[in-house]
Amino acid sequence: MTLGDRLLLAWIALAAVVFVALLFVPAPYGRYARRAWGPTIASRWAWLLMEAPAVLVMAGMFAFGRHRDSWTAVAFLVLWLLHYVPRAFVDPFLWREPTRRTPLAIVAMAIVFNVVNGLANGATLFDRPPGYRDAWLADPRFLLGTAIFALGYAINRDADRRLRHLRGPGESGYRIPRGGLFRWVSCPNYLGEIVIWCGWAIATWSLAGLAFALWTVANLAPRARDHQRFYRERFPEYPPERRALVPGVW
């Protein structure tokens, strides 16, 4: 086992610790933002600062990687950027949350996460010998993983779009989301995000991809449970059959 693999296993162990911590303390951004977490900045700039490193680090790893001369490497870069460019540079300016602020502590943690995650995935994809050859584009793991990635992407984008339209300009309250996968779960955006990175893990067939999928579950499964509880407490008419994250299951 290489040093890189050992570091990734330690990184996965840290995800498990974060998962347990988030079961007790919701990440303090969005509806759970609290003054006790110290200085804050406007949430849209927070999102840009948090997510931009994912774009920059991956683009840098591609530019300087020693094993990036294949269409497969290009395909992985395109998938990554398809997700992260809108997330970093477009979405923050579409959310309707004029007064929402995010603690700098959260911004700092998200930056560290995106830098480490970008380095791990970028090194695996573009630098680690022997690299991904063009034949990987026809491998069943790549084809299945990419299809799952696309499915998750569609679910995540649709859910985030529906959430955006719950508020009019300048509004900041909460409403019951409806339509799409909201019929079955409270957080289809999180479900879509988890599906995306599970697809990525399969398509890359790598420890770095698996680590990202596990980190996504660690971050978002506790938050989905908290959102579910939030909706049930706030809205007596909240659809009782709606699960938190996985239709019909949980």
Given 44, 101, 133, 167, the residue binding ligand NDP (CB under 6 A): 167
Rounded CA-CA distance 128/66 in Å is: 8
Q: Is 246 in the site for ligand NDP (CB under 6 A)?
A: no
Given 7, 12, 30, 67, the residue binding ligand NDP (CB under 6 A): 30
3 state DSSP class of 29: coil
* Residue 30 beta carbon to ligand NDP: minimum distance, rounded to whole angstroms: 3
Given 19, 95, 205, 238, the residue binding ligand NDP (CB under 6 A): 95
Rg (the chain; Cα; Å): 18
Residues 185-204 touching ligand NDP, rule: CB under 6 A, are: 189-190, 193
Q: Is 86 in the site for ligand NDP (CB under 6 A)?
A: no
Residues 139-158 touching ligand NDP, rule: CB under 6 A, are: 156
Q: Where are the beta strands (DSSP E) in the chain?
A: 40-42, 101-103
Q: Is 226 in the site for ligand NDP (CB under 6 A)?
A: no
Q: Is 121 in the site for ligand NDP (CB under 6 A)?
A: no
Q: Which parts of 41-139 fold into alpha helices (H)?
A: 43-64, 71-89, 104-122
CB nearer to ligand NDP: pick between 26 and 131: 26
Closest by CA to 126, choosing from 211, 204, 16, 29, is: 204
CB nearer to ligand NDP: pick between 72 and 211: 211
Q: Is 41 in the site for ligand NDP (CB under 6 A)?
A: no
For residues 27 and 223, is the Cβ–Cβ distance under 8 A?
Answer: yes
Closest by CA to 65, choosing from 82, 52, 77, 53, is: 77
Where residue 123 falls (left for φ over 0; alpha for ψ -120 to 50; beta otherwise) is alpha
* Residue 241 beta carbon to ligand NDP: minimum distance, rounded to whole angstroms: 18
**Interface with ligand NDP (CB under 6 A):** 30-31, 95, 97, 100, 156, 160, 163, 166-167, 174-175, 177, 189-190, 193, 216, 219-220
